[in-house]
Amino acid sequence: MGALCSAITRGGLNADEILKNLNNLFKGMLIRSISIEQIAETIKNLATSGQLTNVDAWKQVLQDNIFNSKFAQTSKELVNYAMEDAKNNYGDQTLPLLSLLFLAGSDQQQFLTAFKAISLARKAQGIGTDVKNIANAGKKGGFFAGLKAGLSSLKNLGSAAKQAANPNIIKKAELRNVLSYHLNFLTLLPVNLLAQFNEGVKMKGYFVTVLNNAFNKDLQNQYVDEKLFANYNNVDEINIDEFYGLNYDRLKDDMGLRKGLVTQYITNLSPEEILKLISSA
């Protein structure tokens, strides 16, 4: 039994094999071939035109961007799951749109620019005309040029509006909500859908069990607190440039993020627990 358990520990639970279907789902999404400038402009226009209250409008944006033809049923239903999760568990229906920024093609500076622009555009709905004008500024010059032009006009605002529209600062609670949602979207949310629709590579039964356990909410919260916010325990506001300077590469590598969680889970299992998992399939 000891030799058998040892062999299973070494080769029975392979993180790459267990994650193959989930990784393929995200790798093949249309958003992976779309530039962050393009998707950020779409989201910004939704925000500044008041369309973020139009659920059908942003549902369509999500459908158009996370679709994967090899996982047609899974990716279609994931839209509904993503919207319900954001509404019921995070209190912000727009969070799936922000996840698109992480999945689109970008470098760190482009991501920072887009993230600030979307944050500003979302604030514009409740701040006032001046900030809304900044969020809309410079459309003819392209997204990044438009943002630069808009931010340069912050100096013309009064101090209260300037503080509200500060693109470099975000409330810690707000950022944590964004990233907690995004982590769940990348990991736990699609797992049972993959099993239900049986698309892509055939998944063994214990793969689903491992993924659900490795991605459970307690471990997600632990990851967010210990990996992403370890340097921000006693603050209420966070500098966006500093935060993503530390975490951009980690958040963009969704495959590495998933593998880290699954590997950690497997490592903490005893040989007997691994044998039980595989035998129950």
Instruction: Point out the least confidently predicted range of 104-118, 123-137, 176-190.
Output: 123-137
pLDDT computed for residue 93 by the predictor: 86
Closest CA to 92 of 167, 3, 182: 182
Give the H or E element holding residue 232: none
Closest CA to 147 of 103, 185, 110: 110
Instruction: Point out the least confidently predicted range of 48-52, 129-133, 241-245, 272-276.
Output: 129-133
Question: Binning pLDDT at 50, 70 and 90, where does residue 7 land?
Answer: very low
Instruction: Give the max Cα distance, the chain.
Output: 75
Q: What is the mean pLDDT of residues 225-240?
A: 93
Question: Binning pLDDT at 50, 70 and 90, where does residue 226 land?
Answer: very high
Distances (CA, A) of 253 to 103, 168, 220, 259: 9, 23, 16, 10
Supply the mean pLDDT for the chain: 84
Question: Binning pLDDT at 50, 70 and 90, where does residue 5 land?
Answer: very low
Question: Binning pLDDT at 50, 70 and 90, where does residue 124 land?
Answer: low
Q: What is the DSSP secondary structure assignment for residue 228, as one 8-state letter? A: I
Q: Six-digit token pair at 86?
A: 């954001």
Task: Return the higher-pLDDT residue of 100 and 143.
Answer: 100
Phi and psi at residue 105, in whole multiples of 5°?
-75, 130
Q: Six-digit token pair at 247?
A: 């975490």
Phi and psi at residue 101, in whole multiples of 5°?
-65, -40
Which residue bears the tokens 């071939």? 33
Claim: this prediction has a pTM higher than 0.75: yes
Q: What is the mean pLDDT of residues 274-280?
A: 86
pLDDT computed for residue 8 by the predictor: 47
Q: What is the mean pLDDT of residues 186-196?
A: 97
Q: What is the mean pLDDT of residues 259-275?
A: 94
Task: Return the higher-pLDDT residue of 13 and 32.
Answer: 32
Task: Return the higher-pLDDT residue of 204 and 48.
Answer: 204
CA atoms within 13 A on the CB side of 268: 10
Task: Return the higher-pLDDT residue of 1 and 118.
Answer: 118
pLDDT computed for residue 128 by the predictor: 45
Percent of the chain with pLDDT over 70: 79
pLDDT computed for residue 148 by the predictor: 53
Task: Return the higher-pLDDT residue of 45 and 281.
Answer: 45
pLDDT, one tens digit per residue, over 30-43 is: 999 999 999 998 88
Q: What is the mean pLDDT of residues 14-24?
A: 96
